[in-house]
Structure 1
């Protein structure tokens, strides 16, 4: 899947630098790759498209990543880091009120990051060679969810509960991405926290305990 190296024409690169001006560092190139995929899907992801979006030469993208597969993997890791850092999924406080407190704002402020991940997930269904890296990197989400649930719940969280809670969060993110209704997301998150609170025996009145 390594893309053939093509020499970019100086005129194009110079014009792109003027138009975009997003920067030339590795992180800037990853952000450009995310925008390309969010707008046109994974099939539009090429060295040249990323270079044009970032306003750099084609060769600079090749230098940083070497292959299209490496670019995809790095971009996915970048989006997951970004999501974990901005969603408060991994707040580490052990307080239910803090669990996923930034999810709706995360989607509103950076929808391209979420669109990239969903596009890659669907593409992995069509192209099994992508499934391994998607599975490994998505395990970071599951691990973060399990850690937070273990801090909040006395009995911790097994795989079933972890997957259930993350599936709820994932679905809310997808719906907000499409329908742009952050208030609906916030209301659903509040209900999810209320349900999780019931899993702590200390929150159940003594008369109702079995």
Structure 2
């Protein structure tokens, strides 16, 4: 079943050009969500036929203090009329530092996911426009298929399309899937493809 799904996905490819000017708004995203959610935001948008991710908080960290001096509310909470309930931005990619904003693990995971997504699209476009063939094309597809299988399972778990017991197993499978090797393989074959295209 997984093999059939991966062949379908790479035959039609993740990126589907569209005339719609639509971005994905993950309204239920919080700072305490699993770090994998931030890593794969861009993958979920490219496979969803939309143009990127919208309305992610950058400096939306808590700054307002209560009567006891404890930091409790964000700046947007200072103006209750700006509250849009389920449309509020509840997370921040950055954090307060000594001399200004600093990056967070969430930001770095989002950046790494974006870079991997751009690399994946580079491979897919080369295959789609037949710029690569033979053994190198086969290895490009193998790398894409391996990532698709892992990411599909992870996304099904995130969407709760599986039981809680299965969800735990899927997340454990991802952690144990040597995902660093998946990333290394992606960049290695992309570098080889880029070098080959540069020679032509």
Superposition TM-score, scaled by structure 2 size: 0.25
Q: Which has the higher contact order (CA 8 A, sep 6+)?
A: 2
Normalized per residue, the structure richer in helix is 1
